[in-house]
Amino acid sequence: MIVSCEFLLEELVKYLETYLIENNAHWLRLNFARIYQTSFQNKQFQELQKWCNDIAAKYPSKVFESENFATLQENALVSLIGRDDLQMEEVKIWNYIIQWGIAQNPGLPSDPKNWSGENFLALKITLQNCLPLIRYFQLSGDDITDKVKPYKKILEENLWEDLMQRFLTPNRPISSTILPPRIISSQVLPPRTTEPFSTVISEIHAAEIASWVDKKTETYSIVNNPYEFKLLIRGTRDGFTSESFWKLCDKQTNTVLVMKVKGTDEIFGGYNPIAWDQSVDDYTSCNDSFIFSLKNGTVQNSILSRVKEPKYALFYSLDCGPNFGSYGDLAMYTDFNWGDECYCSPHSYEKALRNTEDEYDFSVDEYEVYQIRKKE
- As a whole number of angstroms, the distance between CA 153 and CA 176 comes to 16
**60 three-class SS:** coil
Mean pLDDT (whole number) for 343-365: 84
Q: How far apart are CA 240 and CA 244, in angstroms?
A: 7
pLDDT digits (tens, 9 = 90+) for 294-323: 999 888 899 999 999 999 999 998 888 899
In this prediction the pTM is 0.51
Q: Where are the chain's structural domains? A: 2-168, 203-374
pLDDT at 133: 83
Residue 307 bridge partners (DSSP): 349
pLDDT of amino acid 165:
62
Asked whether residue 250 carries a pLDDT value surpassing 60, the answer given is yes
Per-residue pLDDT band for 74 (boundaries 50, 70, 90) equals very high
Residue 52 C-beta-side C-alpha neighbours within 13 Å? 26
- Among residues 305, 287, 301, 318, which one has the least CA distance to residue 353? 305
Average the pLDDT over 262-278 and give the result: 94
Task: Note the Cα 16 to chain centre separation in Å.
Answer: 18
Partners of 330 in the β-ladder: 324
> Among residues 157, 161, 183, 181, which one has the least CA distance to residue 172?
161
Greater model confidence, 1 or 113? 1
Helix axes 46-58, 32-39, angle to 10 degrees: 130
User: Residues in the chain, how many?
Assistant: 376
Tell how strand 330-333 and strand 320-324 pair up. antiparallel
**Is 142's pLDDT higher than 70?**
no
| Dist. CA 345–CA 343, nearest whole Å | 6
Q: How far is CA 2 from CA 5, 24, 59, in A?
A: 5, 17, 27
Residue 337: pLDDT band (50, 70, 90) is very low
Q: Which residues of 176-207 are buried (b: 16+ CB within 10 A; e: fewer)?
A: beeeeebeeeeeeeeeeeeeebbebbbbbbbb
User: What is residue 44's predicted lDDT score, i.e. its pLDDT?
Assistant: 87
